Chain A
Amino acid sequence: MIGRESRPALVLLVLLIAVMAALDPARLAPRGWGTQLGLAAPLLCTAAAVMPAMLGGGGGIDVSIGPLIGFVNAVLVGVLVAKLGIAAPAVLVPAALLLGAALGAVNGLLATVVRVQPIIATLGTYLVLSGLTLTILPAPVGGAPDWLRALAGGRALLPLAALVLGWAALRRTPFHGHLMATGSDARAAYSAGVPVAAVRFLSYVLGGAIAGLAALMMTALIGSADPNIGPTLTLVAISAAALGGVGLAGGQGGLLAALLGGADIFLLQSVLTGFNVSPFVLQIAYGLILVASVSLNAALRRSGRA
């Protein structure tokens, strides 16, 4: 299930858990697992959301994922709950997933049909979405419904389990094979009859839908709508996915790799804040670990080939 590209991330995870166990064993007590899971869930889902477009290769990346999550968060709480008074899970959950998928589809259209290079296309939608979010919601508002807030603790396991099961089901479909083939060698896949453009388009839609889930988990955690939360998520999400072994060249990694990278970043944050270090040190650590892990990955790949 976990490829060799994810091994450095797995080693890092074990190290971080060991450091945590040595420093503050109380934090690892089973009693706190639920809380930790609730805190980690938005980050895990966000890392998973940037993964499908990266798997498709060809420079595929969705840097708009952060503002996309911020926009869905603003629409859910700022518009549906606060303005229209709709708070039923039967409406909000599908609304979040569909809105995410629709926005992902816009990115996918730009990248595959209009054929704008993905980083430019999604940097464009990054600006559009973060601008729109601030326009519909100039300041944070509270008022996430109670059922959603209840998902912030141990019950965060439910949506995460749904995500893992959904991905396991997807792996059994031809789409997954097509996506990995497209990412490994798009020209060969195209020559073998894989509908490369359609596959890549769907990868953005899928990433958007997962981002909708991430927006739900983020809303559950912060219990409000915050127009400034989105843009900060992109960097962390791409770092997490790359750290976990999802290769930007395509065809490498998967959901578990992205979740693993997300868990690494989450534990890194916990350990460093446990040390009471300044956020600037945390930022340096992010950058250095990202550089070290992708370099290590590349070096391992080389020695594996030689």
Chain B
Amino acid sequence: MTRRILAAFAMAAGLHLLGTLLIDGYSAPFAVRALLVLASLLAVASFGQTLVVLLGGIDLSVPFLIGFGNVVAAQLYGQGMPFALVCAIVAVLAAGLGALNGLLSAGLAVHPLILTLGSGTAVEGAVLLWTKGFPAGSAPQFVADFVSIGGSVGGLPVPLLVPATAVLALLLMLLLARSPFGQRLYALGANPAAAPYALIRPVAMAMATYTISALFAAGAGVLLLGFTGSAYADVGQPYLFQSIAAVVIGGTALTGGEGGIAGTVAGALVLTEANTLLIGLGLPPASVEAALGAVILLLVSLYGRTPPLRASI
């Protein structure tokens, strides 16, 4: 397991070295700061996905909830509501959807892929209907400062987002390694049939985990609002693929029960490096998309392979 995480970090470092050799200014301070901010945003969006995947599920409502957090926060704050209240409303609504995802997927044994796709689609439709397709508003200045590429904190030349993401990752690692919740999550993911005998309640666990995922996604949406400055319901779409890819490149198995947060941090770095490198090479956007797909397929086939069926008999 640790080997895969180290391999992912080595891959990120290798890509960075390649970028520095091929592209002028790839390692310039501003470029590195931009890279760290983008990787942090992706990591925040992928943390909740990691927990859901550890449980043996998958959360395709992540991109829609990013858009939800993004648009609802902008709209409400733009109408003059205090930002703390805005965040509370966004969090409560997102948590409600996450809990529903968990309840239906575990309670009725509905496949989470279809379920979260459906619930996410409905939420995006509702957001678009509410704003009539033209969301307005923006984030308060301190959110913009929190994620600004030019920002600095203490003596560090990075915005507060970067160290905050690192602390968040450490807290989540602690939660997974030391808390009963973490133990139960791994147990349930590794063997869902046996977990109830260990007095683990699958439905309650799924509700908690999908709720956390929804909160992280909506939070990433609010952060993206500070980053881009204006609301956009489809802002989360690239994160559908990237949040899952970051988890898998980080060595977490989609079958559940194996992997963790450190891998996702490495996966977010790898994806951001690959994306920046391809854009830096001057490729047109369509080719960047195609090449990114190819690069991810290559990376995952190098060290994200699943064991053969005969190994499970």
A contact residues vs B (CB 8 Å cutoff): 59, 61, 110, 114-117, 119-121, 123-135, 138, 186-187, 190-191, 196-197, 235, 238-239, 242, 247-249, 278, 280-291, 294-295, 297-299, 301-302
Contacts and interface: CB of A to CB of B under 8 A. Distances in A.
A122 to B, nearest CB: 10
Of all A-B residue pairs in the complex, the 8 with the closest CB atoms, nearest first, are A131-B290, A287-B122, A127-B293, A283-B125, A290-B118, A134-B286, A287-B121, A284-B125
Secondary structure dominating the interface of A: helix
Nearest to B114: A242
B58 interface: yes
B312 to A, nearest CB: 6
Contact of B248 (A120, A131, A294): A120
A240 B125 CA distance: 18
Interface of B: 58, 104, 108-111, 113-115, 117-126, 128-129, 133, 241, 244-245, 248, 254-255, 284-294, 296-297, 300-301, 304-310, 312-313
A78 to B, nearest CB: 14
A299 B124 CA distance: 26
A289 B271 CA distance: 35
B248 A235 contact: no
Contacts of A128: 290, 293-294, 297
B305 A116 contact: yes
Nearest to B295: A124
Contact of B241 (A126, A132, A135, A238): A126
A282 B294 CA distance: 34
15 contacts: A116-B297, A120-B296, A120-B300, A127-B289, A127-B293, A128-B293, A131-B288, A131-B291, A235-B121, A248-B111, A287-B122, A289-B118, A290-B118, A294-B111, A302-B109
B263 to A, nearest CB: 14
B254 A59 contact: yes
Contacts of B296: 120, 124, 127
